[in-house]
Amino acid sequence: MNNNIIPHQSLVTPEQRAALTRQRPCVLWFTGLSGAGKSTLSSLVDAALHKRGRHTFVLDGDNMRRRLCRDLGFSDADRTENIRRVAETARLMTEAGLIVLTAFISPFRSERMLARSLFAPGRFIEIYVNAPLELVEQRDPKGLYRRARRGEIRQFTGIDSPYEAPEQPELELDTARFSPEQCVRTVLAYLEEHGLLNPPADAGAEDERAQADAPRPDRV
């Protein structure tokens, strides 16, 4: 590590930012095979939370690959770096007070463990979007499985690169059995049950302290 790099400490704490949003920041980490329904469900949950007045943001795999991670390929090392960047971005967003939804295959358990390690207990919710390979190949909305079967795409998850299913996810959504609407209700119920949609108990006090400590014209 470069000894010349000194972390900057903000005058506003993550707790104070969370108090303003009046919610408990966390990351909803959707993982599963391509075509399992990650992007669909993360978008639907995002819309449902927005309708409830929650502050959210979706980090989608394809969008991140086109921007922040466009220099990365699909080797195991590049996939690990891709997820590291996503996890760090999600962490920063939760420090800003947001509920972050990520939709990435993230095929390796070690990657997901690394991502989880960046968050406080209870603030990383791993959501396994489970659909059998046969079903996602039938769906194949982008034609990726057909191309992988023809050998046009190498190291494609589920074909010639493994997917390591979560062993103890917070939630498992079986999109072969349940509709998107049912899956969304399951996610919202989990968030409510674990108090993640409620403001912290001391949110009001934190808000008052944040306002009291804010610079005023006569104090600058």
pLDDT in tens, 91-115: 999 999 999 999 999 999 999 999 9
DSSP letter for each residue of 94-148: HHTT-EEEEE-----HHHHHHHHHTS-TTSEEEEEEE--HHHHHHH-TTSHHHHH
- Confirm whether 8 is domain-assigned: no
- Confirm whether 208 is domain-assigned: no
pLDDT at residue 22 greater than cutoff 80: yes
- Which secondary-structure segment (H or E) carries 190? helix 180-193
- Confirm whether 120 is domain-assigned: yes
Query: Model pTM?
Result: 0.84
Count the neighbouring beta carbons within 10 Å of the beta carbon of residue 162: 10
**DSSP-derived 3-state class of residue 49:** helix
- Confirm whether 15 is domain-assigned: no
The count of structural domains within the chain is 1
Q: Can you count the helices (H) and strands (E) in the chain? A: 9, 5
Asked whether the beta carbons of 100 and 90 are under 8 A apart, the reply is yes
Q: How remote is the C-alpha of 152 from its chain's centroid?
A: 29
- Confirm whether 14 is domain-assigned: no
Asked whether the beta carbons of 39 and 103 are under 8 A apart, the reply is yes
Asked whether the beta carbons of 142 and 36 are under 8 A apart, the reply is no
Q: How confident is the model at residue 18 (pLDDT cuts 50, 70, 90)?
A: confident
CATH code of the domain containing 33: 3.40.50.300
For residues 166-190, average pLDDT: 97
Residues forming the active site? 106
Q: What is the pLDDT of residues 38-84, one digit of tens each?
A: 999 999 999 999 999 999 999 987 788 888 788 888 888 888 898 99
The parent domain of residue 159 ranges over 25-201
